[in-house]
Amino acid sequence: MGFLNLITPQKKNVEPISAQQPGPSKKYLLDTLGEVCPFPLIEAKRAIAPLNSGDELQIDFDCTQATDSIPAWAAQNGHTVTDFRQVDAASWTVTVKKA
């Protein structure tokens, strides 16, 4: 009898976009390019948790399902999508402001 091994990607680091940001809120980048769905959403949930209210998380991804799942998750959790763009034929960027 075989066993099913679940493979999960390594946790992604969330990097500040700029070290010299004015004001109290900060903007961070989460690069999930190359991750299959649902991992961009899973990583976004993990990455936004420790951020302060008003901080922004820019999520770069190339998983088509995340074009629906990330904005829906943000809305359901009271976060605001402040930017959502298709970068090229198969990648997008969405910025979520934490509630």
Position 13 scores a pLDDT of 72
- Residue positions annotated with a catalytic role: 37
Query: What is the per-residue pLDDT across 63-92, written as a single tens digit (0 to 9) for each?
Result: 999 999 999 999 999 999 999 999 999 999
- Residue 75 parent element (H or E): helix 66-76
Architecture label for domain 25-97: 2-Layer Sandwich (3.30)
CA distance 61 to 73: 15
Pairing mode, if any, of strands 56-61 and 80-88? unpaired
pLDDT of residue 8 exceeding 60: no
Angle at Cα 74 formed by Cα 73 and Cα 78, nearest 5°?
120
CA distance 15 to 31: 9
pLDDT of residue 40 exceeding 50: yes
User: Quick one: angle between helices 39-48 and 66-76, nearest 10?
Assistant: 30
